[in-house]
Amino acid sequence: MNNGVHIKEKPHRQMSRFWKITLAILLGIILLVSAAAVWAYFQLTSGLPQVEGESEVSGLESEVDVYRDENGVPHIEAENDRDLYYAQGFVTAQDRMVQMDLSRRQASGTLSEVIGEDALDADRYFRTFGLRRAAEASMSAYSDEAFEVAEAYAEGVNDYISHMISENEMPVEFRLLGYEPEPWTVLDSLTIGKFMAYDLGGNWQGQAFRHWLTNNVSEEEAQDLMPTYPEDGPVILDVAKDTNVDIEEAFADVSEYLPEPFNGSNNWVISGDHTESGSPLLADDPHLSLDTPSIWYETHLKSPSVNVTGVIFAGVPGIILGHNADIAWGVTNVGPDVQQLYMERRHPEDPYQFLYEDEWYDAEVVEEEIEVDGYDEPFLHETIITRHGPLISEYAHEEGAAGDDALALKWTAHDPSPEFEALMGINRADDWESFTTALEDFHAPAQNFVFADTDGNIGYRANGKIPIRSDDEDALFPVPGWTGEHDWEGFIPWDELPTIENPESGMISTANNQIDDEEYEYHLTHTWAQPYRHERILQMLEGGDNFTAEDMKAMQMDVQNLQASEFVPLLMEGVADEELREIDEEALEVLSSWDERDIADESGPLIFHLWMSAIPQVLFADAIPESVLDIFEGQPGIVDQLLRDAADGNPGPWMEKNGGLSEVTTEALQRAVNYAVNHQGDTPENWLWGDYHRSTFAHPFGDVGPLGILFNASPEAVDGSSITVMAASYDEETGDTNHGAGWRGVMDLADLSESEHIVAPGQSGHVMSDHYHDQVPDWVEGDYHRTSIEPDDYQSESKHLQLVPKNNAD
Q: Is there a catalytic annotation at residue 470?
A: no
Q: Are 157 and 93 in contact (CB under 8 A)?
A: yes
- 376 in a labelled binding site: no
**Residue 488 DSSP symbol:** -
> Helix, strand, coil % (nearest 5) of the chain?
40, 20, 40
CA dihedral 170, 173, 175, 177 (to 10 degrees): -140
Q: Which amino acid is present at 69?
A: D
User: What 3-state DSSP class applies to 439?
Assistant: helix
Q: Are 742 and 759 in contact (CB under 8 A)?
A: yes
**Residue 560 DSSP symbol:** B
E-strand ranges in 434-554 read 447-453, 458-463, 479-480, 499-501, 507-510
Q: Is 512 exposed, middle or buried (0-12, 13-18, 19+ CB in 10 A)?
A: buried
What is the Cα–Cα distance from 288 to 621, expressed in whole angstroms? 27
- Write down how long the chain is: 810
Terminal Cα distance for the chain, rounded: 76
Closest CA to 742 of 692, 776, 767, 710: 776
Angle at 331 between CA 330 and CA 334, to 5 degrees: 160
CA distances from 682 to 668, 693, 717, 733 (A): 17, 18, 21, 19
What is the Cα–Cα distance from 197 to 106, expressed in whole angstroms? 14
Q: Are 240 and 478 in contact (CB under 8 A)?
A: yes
- Cβ contacts of residue 353 below 8 Å, gap of 6+? 346, 347, 360, 361, 362, 363
What is the Cα–Cα distance from 409 to 83, expressed in whole angstroms? 40
Q: Are 230 and 236 in contact (CB under 8 A)?
A: yes
**Residue 531: cis peptide before it, omega within 30 degrees of 0:** no
Of the candidates 112, 189, 265, 303, the residue annotated as catalytic is: 265
**b (16+ CB within 10 A) / e for 200-235:** bbbbbbbbbbbbbbbbebeeebbbbbbbeebeebee
User: What 3-state DSSP class applies to 801?
Assistant: strand
- Cβ contacts of residue 424 below 8 Å, gap of 6+? 145, 146, 149, 318, 438
Give the containing element (helix H, strand E) for 427. Answer: helix 419-428
- Cβ contacts of residue 254 below 8 Å, gap of 6+? 125, 205, 627, 630, 631
Q: Show which residues are catalytic.
A: 265
Q: Which amino acids are annotated as binding site, given as ranges? A: 337
Q: Which amino acids are annotated as binding site for Ca(2+), given as ranges? A: 337
